[in-house]
Structure 1
Amino acid sequence: MMRMGKRTWAAVLAAGSMLAVTTAPPAAASAASFCDELAGQWDGQFCRTSVTSDRKAVRDITMALPGDLVDNPVIRQYLTNLMNNWRTAAQKMAADSVGEQHFEVFHHGDAMTAVFHEMYSGTVGTDALAHPNAPIFSDAYRTFTFAGGRQLQLADLFKPGVDHRVEIPRLGEPFIVAALDAAPPPHQPGTYPFTPDRWTPDQVYSGGYKAWALTPDELILYMPDYPVGHDTPVDFTPGRMQWAMDGGTVQAHIPLAALAPVLQPQFGGT
């Protein structure tokens, strides 16, 4: 099986540069306080801890906490679950491992999207967040968008009666194809599995468009959201390589202008 993915361990994003806040101290205080609740050590930028398994393997955990956003109940619960899941998985590890999480924040009008990038390693089948067939190193993306005091779903960006699962692949096709062609490793454009029909929202490689971000001028799709062990249905074509996909292997940047006919006005619609 061929594993598709990218290693971005060196791309450490500073929490302070990702989120605009009115004053730095309250945000830093919120992050530091929340890190204490997570039983981690706040170093001014990251919440860190280490867990030793019953087999003496060490998992180093590093989490970037998004300032005042840690007071958002949805994000707070996500980060708490992530830390707990990584701690639980660490207890089963037979070899040293890591768990790293970084974030980025986008704004569009009064809408805000927080994108969390999880990077973790572990023995196959033992990491609570990994697909059962995932190899040792994995990436995943979790995204949360809020506006008007509530969490938005992708469908909320579109006009009433519009099926976004149809319109995104239709209107966004040129940009999705460009992202497929550019995805690692280098490959011949238009070759399996980097064909649009394998990345529509009903196909496993797309992750069902679960991970997305609304920026000032784009809709970003992170596909898939979590590692995928193989295509579904499994392709048994003789001589064809079997593929697995890492989270965020394909990142399609679709201009809001291309989706304008079907978007709500506040999100760039016409």
Structure 2
Amino acid sequence: MRASVVAAVAVVAALLTAPAAAASAPSFCDELGGQWDGQFCSTSVVSERNAVRTIKMALPGDLVNNPTIREYLTNLMNNWRNAATKMVQDSFGEQHFQIFHHGDAMTAVFHEMYSGTVGTDALAHPNAPIISDAYRTFTFAGGRQLQLADLFKPGVDHLAEIPRLGAPFIVAALDAAPPPHQAGTYPFTPDRWTPDKVYSGGYRAWALTPDELILYMPDYPVGRDSPLDYTIGRMQWAMDGGTVQAHIPLSALAPVLRPEFGGA
């Protein structure tokens, strides 16, 4: 499991969509059916086969008032609970978060880590549970949620400009990605991580920091490369969420960014 940095910082209320009703992490944890310990909302679920799934979710303070994030966290808890009922061995689900600010924009990055096996595979390999990572990100500014395209000047094809201007930094991230490998070897080649390819996750998970655009690729675990004919005769690779994390300086993207996001 990769180390996860948990950073909780104050959130400016003006950045968030106004909540229907005030809430706090402890009270929201109650709604989720968990127990709040000051950092995590925790619970456990026993499956039909008496396997226990332990769930721990870090709740980001006042951000639980944001309807989008509130819905995400509720769905995550429910999905993990539902999956737990079919588990054949003990498992876990754990979520951490990190907050970044850029001017009046705020990005919340949620890192999900979970394990578990179901069905015949679990019975055949009871000591080899699947451990996975995933990333969900949300960026807000001016009272609304931003999409990646919103960072760029009108008319800019950001899905073409990011891999072009950010190429050196994407390549560096590919070379550094686990497992240790020779630089420039398949599948850690830029052509397999462009936004139209499955390994990139379509740039769905991203964060805007004070001086960087971070891409978490892929956003969710990917079972194999696509299209399949590209890998005939080669080992099939699976990619965990966030296997490649490209840190692209905003200065490298400045020619195509809006001024408020570091554009020239």
TM-score (normalizing by structure 2): 0.90
**What's the counterpart of residue 32 of structure 1?**
26
Distance 1:241 1:202 in 2: 21
Residue 124 of structure 1 contacts residue 136 of structure 1 at CA under 8 Å; is this kept in 2? no
User: Could you say which residue in structure 2 is the equivalent of 1:255?
Assistant: 249
Q: Which one of 129, 139, 148 corresponds to residue 145 of structure 1?
A: 139
CA RMSD of aligned residues (A): 1.6
Q: Give the stretch that moved more between structures: 29-38 or 183-192.
A: 29-38
Give the equivalent residue in structure 1 for 2:9: 19
Which amino acid counterpart does residue 41 of structure 2 have in structure 1?
C
Deviations 1:67-96 (A, max 9, x none): 000000000000000000000000011111
Which of 222, 237, 252 is the equivalent residue of 2:232? Answer: 237
Question: Match of 1:180, as an amino acid?
Answer: L
In the alignment, structure 1 segments of 5+ residues that lack a partner are 1-6, 23-28, 127-134
Residues 179 and 250 of structure 1 are in contact (CA less than 8 Å); yes or no, is this contact kept in structure 2? yes
Code of the aligned partner of 1:76 = R
Q: How does 1:1-270 map to 2 (within 5 A)?
A: 7-8=1-2, 11=3, 13-14=5-6, 17-20=7-10, 30-123=24-117, 136-234=130-228, 235-238=230-233, 240-270=234-264
Separation in 2 of the partners of 1:204 and 1:247? 11
Q: 1:265 to 1:236 in 2, by over 3 A?
A: closer
Normalised to the residue count of structure 1, the TM-score between the two structures is: 0.88
In structure 2, the residue matched to 1:132 is none
CA distance in 2, matches of 1:187, 1:97: 30
| Relative contact order higher in (CA < 8 Å, ≥ 6 apart) | 1
Deviation string for 1:174-198 (max 9, x for gaps)?
0000000000111100000000000
Percent sequence identity is: 82
Number of equivalenced pairs: 245
Question: 2:18: which partner in 1?
Answer: none
3-state SS in 2 of match to 1:179: helix
Q: CA deviation at 1:18?
A: 2.2
